Amino acid sequence: MWDNKNNQKSVLGLTIAEKILSNHSGKIVRAGELTVADLDFVFGQDGTSGVVIDSFRDMGATKVFDAKKCAMILDHSCPSPIQGVSAIHKKIRDFAKKTGIILHDIGDGVCHQLIPERGYVVSGDLIIGADSHTCTYGALNMCSTGMGSTDVATGMIAGKTWFKVPETIKFICNGKLQKGVYAKDLILFLIGQVRADGATYNAVEYVGEAIKDLSIESRMTICNMAIEMGAKFGIMEFDDKTEKWIRNKTNRDFLPVESDDNAKYFKIFEYDVSKIEPQIAMPHSVDNVVPIKEVLGTKIDEAVLGTCTNGRIEDLEIAANILKGKKINKDVRFIVAPASRNILLEAIEKGYIQTFIKAGAAVVTPGCGPCVGTHNGVPADGENVISTANRNFKGRMGNAKAFIHLASPASVTVAAIEGKITDPRNYI
């Protein structure tokens, strides 16, 4: 719709979200306006796709708008732990065969890793998914958001859906993260600052020196948790790292999008991140965040490394480097769930999986099981869990009487070794 190189920035005054929604609407749209926008990719996972299929059929549909742009991914309960889930999985497989859409079956991994990893989405895209953490892909300079199953079914049929164009909040992250502090600590800190409803239905742009220093995988960690402050979209700027990452995954053309110098922001927050310590989100809310020094010594019964937030190769590398030559505390269960089959294979090649197993960890099938509490690590009553996941409300891991603490891969691994919450900077 416009070319940033031709000096239209000063005229338009749009944020990244406004530009992407405008590009997909065929007209300029601004915050507060309603628009119908074309979609580049639509998907569901096994926890939601059963309802997607029912809604699809209830609307009398027989085919999707583009089978190459629609997917269903089996990741939440994989392999199936119970008969009812097996029936849903079969329903999804049958639907995929009938419609020709992309299907990722058990063991392929978590949807929010697979979709960018397989090159299905690129900069400038607009994506909806029947999962709240669809906002992850904003790390690649795009707009992606979770919607209800009926909305996703409609998107699969029509190839478009309606949006209220969100206002945008900008987080300016100056300085450099200190050693032993990671992207997970940064996003927990930001959520603690603005609270769980501090960005409700806003787009969020993360900018600044600290963000530029992060890998694409670490940027995904931050955008993944944009929904935990209520955001519609979490978005990063496009740079050389973004381009290299995308070109390594796909030959698709893409349109980098940047905000205009005179873009209008709802709020702007600015922080010196060099002062941030390792952070812990305490039970039972993701915004109940404290510096790790305030909870040192808290007994841990179970530690979980993985999920769509921190199950990538760099996360496994951080943990393996800490754990090498050490043993898991005898009173702790350490569960490791790589985010995808490809990550699992790479971790095997690099020796990380061997390190985990020798240390006493349980390495499970790539997927979401421990995070959502369907299987692979449901805690007992009264137990303390420390996890790299993105949510810690009561019952999130399958037991409302357990206590979930959220932390970085380093903090989780060190707690598994010590049997209690410990500052990971002592190990790095």
Q: What is the pLDDT of residue 282?
A: 98
Percent of the chain clearing pLDDT 90 (strictly above): 93
* CATH 3.30.499.10 is right for the domain spanning 281-423: yes
Same fold yes or no, 15-271 and 281-423: yes
Q: What is the pLDDT of residue 375?
A: 86
Domain residue ranges of the chain, discontinuous segments joined by +:
15-271, 281-423
Please say if the pLDDT value at position 2 is more than 70. no
Q: What is the pLDDT of residue 372?
A: 81
Alpha carbons 321 and 180: distance in angstroms, whole number:
12
Q: For 356-366, what is the mean pLDDT?
A: 97
Alpha carbons 168 and 210: distance in angstroms, whole number:
20
Q: For 331-344, what is the mean pLDDT?
A: 97
Average per-residue pLDDT for the chain: 95
Residue 378 DSSP code: P
DSSP characters over 181-241: --HHHHHHHHHHHH-TTTTTT-EEEEESHHHHHS-HHHHHHHHHGGGGGT-SEEEE---HH
CA angle 61, 122, 224 (to 5 degrees): 85
Q: Which residues pair with 144 in a beta bridge?
A: 127
- Are the beta carbons of 159 and 66 closer than 8 angstroms? yes
pLDDT band at 285 (very low <50, low <70, confident <90, very high): very high
pLDDT band at 4 (very low <50, low <70, confident <90, very high): low
- Are the beta carbons of 222 and 206 closer than 8 angstroms? yes
Phi and psi for 108 in degrees, rounded to 5? Answer: -70, -35
What CATH class does 15-271 carry?
A: alpha beta
- Both structure tokens of 183: 């992207």
Please name the helix (run of DSSP H) or strand (run of DSSP E) that holds residue 34, with its range, or none: strand 34-38
Please name the helix (run of DSSP H) or strand (run of DSSP E) that holds residue 12, with its range, or none: helix 9-12
- Are the beta carbons of 126 and 37 closer than 8 angstroms? yes
391: three-class secondary structure by DSSP: coil
Taking the complete model, does pTM exceed 0.85, yes or no?
Answer: yes
DSSP characters over 247-315: HTT-----------TT---SEEEEEEGGGPPPEEEPTT-TT-EEEGGGSTT-B-SEEEEEHHHH-SHHH
Q: What is the CA radius of gyration of the chain?
A: 21
Please say if the pLDDT value at position 9 is more than 60. no
Q: Which residues contact 55 (CB under 8 A, 6 or more apart)?
A: 149, 150, 153, 154
Percent of the chain clearing pLDDT 70 (strictly above): 97
Q: What is the pLDDT of residue 11?
A: 62
Alpha carbons 198 and 418: distance in angstroms, whole number:
35
- Residue 62: CB atoms within 10 A of its CB come to 9
